[in-house]
Amino acid sequence: MQTSATQAIAKQISLAKRGQLSLEALVSSCNRLQAEGKNDDCINLYLAWLNKSQHPLAYLAWYNLGALVQS
C-alpha cells in the first residue's frame, strides 16, 4: 500500500509525463522533496518533466537537475 506522500509523488510524475505539470509546480515540488531528503524522487520528477516538456525555460530545470546530481 502506498502512503499519501508516495501517492503525491506518483501523481506529480504522472502529470509531468503527460506534459501537464507547470515549471513552477515542478520547481516547487522538487524544492519540497529536497527539503524532505527525497533527492531520488526529485531527480525522477525532473527527468519525467524534461522528457516531455518543450517549455522555453526548460534550461532552468536542466540546471536544477544538474545541481542536484552534483550535490
Residue 17 forms part of a structural domain? no
Global pTM reads: 0.91
Domain membership of residue 57 as a residue range: 22-70
What's the pLDDT tens digit per position in 10-54?
Answer: 999 999 999 999 999 999 999 999 999 999 999 999 999 999 999
> How many separate domains does the chain show?
1
Residue-level pLDDT at 41: 97
Residue 13 forms part of a structural domain? no
Secondary structure (DSSP) of 10-71:
HHHHHHHHTT-S-HHHHHHHHHHHHHTT-HHHHHHHHHHHHHH---TTHHHHHHHHHHHHH-
Residue 33 forms part of a structural domain? yes
